[in-house]
Amino acid sequence: MIGHDTLTPEERAYVEECDAFLAKRLDPELVARMDRSEVLYPDGFIRELAEQHYLGAAVPAEEGGGGRSFLEEALLNERVGYHGSAAIACARTFTGHVGWILHRYGTDVQKEKYLRPMLRGEKITAQALTEPGAGSDMAGIQTTARRDGDRYIVNGEKRFLDGAHTANFISCAVRTADGDDPRRTLSVLMVDTDQPGYEILQTHDDWLGFRGLGSAWVRFTDVEVPLENMLGEEHNGWQYLSEQLLLERVYATRAQLGQAHRALEIAATYAEQRETFGKKLKDHQWASFKVAEAATRLDAALLLNDRAARMLDDGLWAEAKMEVAMAKKFGVEAAWQTVDDAMQIVGGIAYTKAYPIERIFRDVRASRFTAGSTEMMALIIQRRAFDKLRDPNFRTELVGHEVDGSPVAKQMPERV
Ligand SMILES: Cc1cc2nc3c(=O)[nH]c(=O)nc-3n(C[C@H](O)[C@H](O)[C@H](O)COP(=O)(O)OP(=O)(O)OC[C@H]3O[C@@H](n4cnc5c(N)ncnc54)[C@H](O)[C@@H]3O)c2cc1C
């Protein structure tokens, strides 16, 4: 936050603790190597985060998590974005949102086999929603898990999966029943990647940004999964995935805002030193106003994110859909606009790798369609917004009617 925050003293102390650790331990060279796709997953660093209880920070401590609030986990992610990259924040975030649904709906066996090792940094997970034929439209998921005795047989393809190249298991959205209603046909299954039939078709290490996660396009061909790997109730996956996505939207957006803050900091400092036409850049009104607008935009986005996280902390999951969507939509667009402004203020040198603005620019761009695109967020917002904005005293009789209430007469074209 650039202005005064609305955090409690405990929350502020947590931010300071995270900051001190990350400033010391998050090596910029690791970020650069990931960006060059020389590292396919920051597993060493992820283990260090585990020692700090920064994996699954909001999962209860007795289950191996950090015992923090959702807001505190979001604050942590903001600092990871600021000191590191969206890719490192993403690797950590999976332990937060996949970890949280495992904590909430998983069996003791699943927690022992997947959740705890993941939170110790020993097992890597990937989250598999997107398919070649189903991205924004999650209801279109076609990967199937067919029951066969004491196991499921999984078939299908998933793409753009962060961490899939190195993942030990995949939290996989599958269709377990026929029919169009996603609320009754989808399930979430933990699929071990050492099973025969699991195959990586392509890695996405040539992506514009977000590199160094071992993101991949994968195929499941008759992969056998024990029945005990089904999360919660069969056919109830839509609910689990919806909850997981609420958390992911809050956490992932926060990392982008941390990155955007870093870019703006560089640009503002640069503008105080660079001279053009005989005066500092910051003394040209266009540059100083850009900084003012970006600072305001970032703080507004962070406050929306705080509100969304606090609603989840207060247990308002069903109610928070619109507020989370507002925080995601406004947040990633604010981050994108801010990084673009930062690049404009700094000029040509920002387009090189001299400063991280160039990498942040590439990283942030993806957030406008990952975890639910800006357009999908608008669809969610408008549904609830229309309910909230309905005027009970509205003069309905005037809609399409004359003042006296009679229908508006159709204007006939004049005959020539
Ligand atoms: C860096 C990165 C990391 C990712 N990580 C993962 C991951 O770990 N796991 C995973 O499962 N997926 C992952 N994804 C996939 C990501 O979630 C999808 O790209 C996203 O859901 C959009 O799906 P799509 O690309 O198929 O686009 P589409 O759904 O085909 O949409 C294309 C465009 O049309 C717009 N659009 C679609 N329908 C509508 C509509 N009804 N109204 C208005 N606009 C519409 C969308 O907003 C989008 O801009 C990742 C993607 C990227 C780029």
Would you say residue 411 has pLDDT above 70?
Answer: no
Q: Where would I find the beta strands (DSSP E) of 193-268? A: 198-203, 216-226
How far, in Å, CA of 125 to CA of 164, rounded? 7
Contact (Cβ atoms closer than 8 angstroms) between residue 77 and residue 251: yes
State residue 182's pLDDT score.
85
User: For ligand 1, atom 42, which residue shows the shortest CA distance?
Assistant: 375
CA distance 122 to 105: 21
Task: Show me where the domains of the chain are located.
Answer: 9-124, 127-235, 238-389
Topology (CATH level 3) of domain 127-235: Butyryl-CoA Dehydrogenase, subunit A; domain 2 (2.40.110)
What's the rounded Cα separation, in Å, for the pair 329 and 384?
15
Rounded-to-integer distance, Cα 300 and Cα 286, Å: 21
Cβ–ligand 1 contact at 67 (below 6 Å): no
Report the 10 Å Cβ neighbour count for 13. 11
In the predicted model, what is the mean pLDDT of residues 215-234?
Answer: 98
Q: Which pLDDT does position 214 carry in this prediction? A: 94
Name the CATH topology of 238-389: Butyryl-CoA Dehydrogenase, subunit A; domain 3 (1.20.140)
Read off the pLDDT band of 412 (50, 70, 90). Answer: low
Q: Is residue 375 lining ligand 1, measured as CB closer than 6 Å?
A: yes
The residue among 259, 147, 158 whose CA lies nearest residue 217 is 158
pTM of the model: 0.96
- The residues pairing with 219 across neighbouring beta strands, listed in sequence order, are 157, 199
Is the pLDDT at 416 greater than 90, yes or no?
no
Asked whether the beta carbons of 383 and 355 are under 8 A apart, the reply is: no
pLDDT recorded at residue 198? 98
The answer, yes or no, to whether any atom of ligand 1 lies below 6 A from the CB of 94, is: no
Return the ligand 1 atom nearest residue 136 CA. 29
Alpha helices of 106-194 — where are they, by DSSP H?
108-110, 116-119, 182-185
**Tens-place pLDDT, residues 186-221:** 999 999 999 999 999 999 989 999 999 999 999 999
- Ligand 1 centroid, distance to 135 Cα (angstroms): 5
Torsion angles phi and psi, residue 256, rounded to 5: -65, -35
Q: What is the pLDDT of residue 146?
A: 97
- Tell me if 9-124 shares its fold with 127-235: no
pLDDT at residue 328, rounded to an integer: 98
* Span 235-292, pLDDT tens digits: 999 999 999 999 999 999 999 999 999 999 999 999 999 999 999 999 999 999 999 9
User: Measured in angstroms, how far is the CA atom of residue 266 from the centroid of ligand 1?
Assistant: 30
Helices (H) and strands (E) in the chain, counts: 13, 9
Long-range contacts of 234-240 (CB under 8 A, 24+ apart): 234/176, 234/187, 235/176, 235/177, 235/184, 235/185, 235/186, 235/187, 236/187, 237/173, 237/174, 237/176, 237/186, 237/187, 237/188, 238/138, 238/182, 238/183, 238/186, 239/183, 240/101, 240/104, 240/105, 240/188
Confidence label for 395 from pLDDT (cuts 50, 70 and 90): confident
Q: What is the length of the chain?
A: 416
Distance CA 4, CA 256 (A): 20
Say if residue 414's pLDDT is above 90: no
Question: Would you state the pLDDT for residue 403?
Answer: 76
pLDDT score, position 402:
79
User: What pLDDT is attached to residue 180?
Assistant: 84
Rg (alpha carbons) of the chain, rounded to whole number: 24
∠ CA 368-157-145, rounded to 5°: 115
DSSP-derived letter for residue 329 is H
Q: How much is the mean pLDDT over the chain?
A: 96
76, 96 in Cβ contact below 8 A? no
β-strand pairing of 216-226 with 151-161: antiparallel
Q: Does the domain formed by 9-124 have CATH 3.40.1130.10?
A: no
Cα→Cα distances 334→40, 245, 268, Å: 29, 20, 17
What pLDDT shows up at residue 358? 98
Q: What is the pLDDT of residue 397?
A: 82
Q: Which of 93, 137, 160 to mutate to test the pocket of ligand 1 (most atoms within 8 A of CB)?
A: 160
67 Cα to the center of ligand 1, angstroms = 32
**Is the CB of 162 within 6 Å of ligand 1?**
yes
Confidence class of residue 134 from pLDDT cuts 50, 70 and 90?
very high
Q: What is the mean pLDDT of residues 138-153?
A: 96
Q: What per-residue confidence (pLDDT) applies to 283?
A: 98
